[in-house]
Structure 1
Amino acid sequence: MWRNRNVWIILTGEFVAGLGLWLGVIGNLEFMQEKVPSDFIKSLLLAGGLVAGIAVGPYAGRLTDQISKKMVMLISGFVRIISVIFMFIAISTGSIWWMLVFSVLIQTSAAFYFPALQAAIPLIVADRELLQLNGVHMNVATLSRIIGTALAGVLLVALPLSMIYTGSLVAYIILFILTCFLNIDEPNTKQALSTETKKAERMKEESRLEKTSPQEKTSFKDVFPVIQGLPIVFMTLLLSLIPLLFLGGFNLLVINISELQESSAIKGWIYTAEGISFMLGAFMIKQISSKSSPYTILFSSAFLIGLSQFLLYLANIPIITIIAFVIFGFSVGCFFPTAATIFQTKVPKDFHGRFFSFRNMLDRIIFQIVLLITGFLLDLIGLQLMCALYGGLTIIMTSIFYLKNKQEIKQNNHNIPAKKEKGIST
């Protein structure tokens, strides 16, 4: 895998793009802090870009399945570059509306780029290398987040805001150039559609898909019967919602823990502990997967996430807080690469664009819902009771999914004719 030029291009591009992204995020927060006094208006401005990304999701998924993944990545990369220009206009005019245009374009380009990237990864490495690459890819993204936010904080003190976005623009230009050098061996679209659709038909046994031609299988809705027909994908998709209960209100949790402990330093310790443990989990997932099944990893990680939430009932104790975020970081570091590998290997490749676009939309919607609920519960019952509630909900959901999965496995085994036993009895 490490001799594959495409792997290095993908990983380097992810690191550079992450730096540009987090420079822009911190720059946006600084700009809004100067220009927008209302927190509610700030939240609406941030939500505007996310809504735009959700709106174009179905089209992004169809386009990714119809044309070259590399072409989709190049187009979205070019849009990113153009979007920064609008932020320069916003800074020079002091207009918040130009910043909104920037946010919409950035989120729209991301809605195209990330499904195309997830669909491209299985095309550049063998299936046996996917789990390792997904783990390394997420580690690179985490590292770029840590460095990008720290770099933005330093630059804001020493340089004008426009220089932050200059750094972001340079990063996006480098990403665009790197993408040009990708060499993805993509099969002919029509041939891929017919071949992979036959595989999907056998797996989900849907007569509707059997009667439609490959050219007609370009609707975004066609991905839903595929998901329903693949139990492992459907269950993994449901389990993927569990980490969002924690991640959706992550920043609000950190702020409230800092206020509870009356310590600003604890915020830095939390982010550092979570980031390092996440990278450790993603690094060790290859070794863990050789000893455990993907479902064992997913269910164990989900239970540990629930445990970390329960521990935050004692969030007034600094050492318990750090332990909770270490457990959470390691759990999601194991969870996300495993889930991504299941999706990339089990979902037919000609549905990858639509599937990853749908997953991206689902994550954004759930993330926003959890964020609003977290803010409401923090005001209503407080941090510690809310964490206990979330922990209980996580454990209950995981237990239900686990029992359901165990029951399905038992039914499948029961349906297999026991010919050998009959032979013995006779």
Structure 2
Amino acid sequence: MWKNRNVWILLCGELIAGIGLWTGIIGNLEFLQQHVPSDFMKSLILFTGLLAGVMVAPLAGRIIDSYSKKKVMIYASFGRMLSVLFMFLAIEFGSVFWMICFMIAIQLSAAFYFPALQALIPVVVGEKDLLQMNGAHMNMTTIARIIGTALAGVMLVFVSLYSLYLASFVAYGLLLLSTFLLVVEEDEKIVPGVKKDKKAASFKEVLPLLRGVPIAMMALILTLIPMFFLGGFNLMVISISDLQQDATIKGLIYTVEGCCFMLGAFLVKRVSEKVDQVKFMFIITTVVAITHLSLYFAEFKWLALSSFGIFGFAIGFFFPITATIFQTKIPKEYHGRFFSFRSMLDRVMFQVVLLATGLFLDTIGFQYMVLVFGVISLSMIAFFGLRYIKTPFQDQPLPTEQKAGSI
């Protein structure tokens, strides 16, 4: 796998773009703190961009299955660059409106880029290398997050907010250039032969497909548990900083969580070969729910950092495993629509959790909020765990190409 030129292009492109992305995210939080006092209003602004991504997901899925994934990624990367121009206007005029335009534009680009990337990975590497590639890709994303957040923190001290977004703009430009270097012959061979049929294919075909692949359905359901944590991640970090009266805790939380994520993603291949994947996913999501509950004591710095570290370690196992399940169990001709459907589901959940987080922070407060989310997570795990115990499916033959073709 490591001799594959495309693998290095994807990983290096993700590192560069990820640094730009997280530099921009820290800039978003700084801009919101300066111009929007209410946590709920902050969540509404972030919600607007996510909603745009949800609305365009069905179209994105059909386009990814109909055309070259490389070309979709190129156009999406160009869209990312254009979106940053709106943020320059927001800074110039101190306008929340232009920031909303930025959020919409960048989420529209992401709605095309990330499903196309997930659909391209099984084309770039063989099935035996998918778990390792997913772990490496997510580790690169985490390294970019650590560097990006640290760089943004330093830049905010010495330079203007404008410079953060200029760095994002340059990073997205480098990502665009790196995408042009991809040579994906298999992708080009597949696309012309199916383009006509796929244009007429319905996005709704994903749901009956999932019913025929129960392990993928269970992985999709369990993905909702980490989303309860991730949806309010940034707002929780701000709240913990306020709770402890310590601005430096924000950078420490991102760093600890990111380093632990990388460790989990590094170990995932060794561990996953020795355990039942479905049972392991239930264990991981239970750990995530418990860490959410433990944030009730977030006024203690060591406990807050430990909770985020354990969470990072757990999802470092969880996301590479689920990504590999989706890439191997879902037929390739449905990858564009499936990953767009998954992205849409993630965005809807992210929106709900984001709005709920902002609302709870303004009403019941941080500590009671984490109890509510933790109890909901444990209840979901118990419910679906009991269903799985009654009707296990791990050892059943999984339908793939044949099942999908009959839909």
Structure 1 residue 265, shift from structure 2 partner = 4.2
Residue matched to 2:404: none
1:281 is the counterpart of 2:264: yes
1:21 is the counterpart of 2:4: no
1:221 is the counterpart of 2:223: no
SS of corresponding position for 2:392: helix
Query: Would you say the 8 A contact 1:2–1:8 is kept in 2?
Result: yes
Whole-Å Cα distance in 2 between the matches of residues 104 and 388 of structure 1? Answer: 32
Structure 1 residue 222, shift from structure 2 partner = 1.4
Kindly report which structure 2 residues correspond to 1:63-74, keeping only aligned pairs within 5 A, or say none.
63-74=63-74
Residue matched to 2:10: 10
Structure 1 residue 316, shift from structure 2 partner = 3.9
Query: Would you say the 8 A contact 1:24–1:164 is kept in 2?
Result: yes
Distance 1:38 1:181, change over 3 A: same
Structure 1 residue 70, shift from structure 2 partner = 0.3
Whole-Å Cα distance in 1 between the matches of residues 149 and 246 of structure 2? Answer: 20
CA RMSD of superposed structures (Å): 2.5
Picking from 373, 376, 379, the partner of 1:390 is: 373
SS of corresponding position for 1:409: coil
When structure 1 is superposed on structure 2, of 177-186 and 394-403 the one drifting more is 394-403
Structure 1 residue 161, shift from structure 2 partner = 3.2
Residue matched to 2:399: none
When structure 1 is superposed on structure 2, of 21-30 and 109-118 the one drifting more is 21-30
1:407 is the counterpart of 2:407: no
Structure 1 residue 219, shift from structure 2 partner = 1.4
Residue matched to 2:403: none
Whole-Å Cα distance in 2 between the matches of residues 81 and 27 of structure 1? Answer: 16
CA offset digits 1:346-377 (Å, max 9, x no partner): 11111111111111111111112112223334
Q: Which has the larger radius of gyration?
A: 1
CA offset digits 1:8-37 (Å, max 9, x no partner): 011111111111212222333444555556
Whole-Å Cα distance in 1 between the matches of residues 143 and 395 of structure 2? Answer: 43
Residue matched to 2:402: none
Amino acid at match of 2:88: F
TM-score w.r.t. the length of structure 1 is: 0.85
Distance 1:102 1:378, change over 3 A: closer
Where structure 1 has 5 or more consecutive residues not aligned to the other structure, the ranges are 194-212, 414-426
Distance 1:78 1:378, change over 3 A: closer
Query: Would you say the 8 A contact 1:297–1:338 is kept in 2?
Result: no
Structure 1 residue 268, shift from structure 2 partner = 3.7
Residue matched to 1:242: 225
Query: Would you say the 8 A contact 2:62–2:199 is kept in 1?
Result: no
TM-score w.r.t. the length of structure 2 is: 0.88
Query: Would you say the 8 A contact 1:297–1:334 is kept in 2?
Result: no
Whole-Å Cα distance in 2 between the matches of residues 235 and 177 of structure 1? Answer: 38
Whole-Å Cα distance in 2 between the matches of residues 167 and 359 of structure 1? Answer: 30
When structure 1 is superposed on structure 2, of 129-138 and 399-408 the one drifting more is 399-408
Residue matched to 1:104: 104
Query: Would you say the 8 A contact 1:233–1:343 is kept in 2?
Result: yes
Residue matched to 2:235: 252
Kindly report which structure 2 residues correspond to 1:39-58, keeping only aligned pairs within 5 A, or say none.
42-58=42-58
1:166 is the counterpart of 2:142: no
Distance 1:55 1:216, change over 3 A: closer
Whole-Å Cα distance in 2 between the matches of residues 375 and 86 of structure 1? Answer: 25
Query: Would you say the 8 A contact 2:27–2:165 is kept in 1?
Result: yes
CA offset digits 1:286-312 (Å, max 9, x no partner): 111121122132111011112212333
Higher RCO (CA 8 Å, separation ≥ 6 residues): 2
Picking from 333, 339, 347, the partner of 2:316 is: 333
Whole-Å Cα distance in 1 between the matches of residues 125 and 50 of structure 2? Answer: 31
Whole-Å Cα distance in 1 between the matches of residues 93 and 363 of structure 2? Answer: 40
Amino acid at match of 2:121: I
Residue matched to 1:300: 283
Distance 1:192 1:400, change over 3 A: farther
Overall identity of the aligned pairs, in %? 52
Whole-Å Cα distance in 1 between the matches of residues 94 and 248 of structure 2? Answer: 33
Distance 1:100 1:257, change over 3 A: closer
SS of corresponding position for 1:188: helix
Query: Would you say the 8 A contact 2:63–2:199 is kept in 1?
Result: no
Amino acid at match of 2:333: D
Query: Would you say the 8 A contact 2:62–2:198 is kept in 1?
Result: no
Picking from 236, 239, 255, the partner of 1:272 is: 255
1:88 is the counterpart of 2:71: no
Whole-Å Cα distance in 1 between the matches of residues 35 and 370 of structure 2? Answer: 34
Amino acid at match of 1:396: S
How many correspondences in the alignment?
394
Whole-Å Cα distance in 1 between the matches of residues 43 and 374 of structure 2? Answer: 26
Structure 1 residue 172, shift from structure 2 partner = 1.1
Kindly report which structure 2 residues correspond to 1:346-357, keeping only aligned pairs within 5 A, or say none.
346-357=329-340
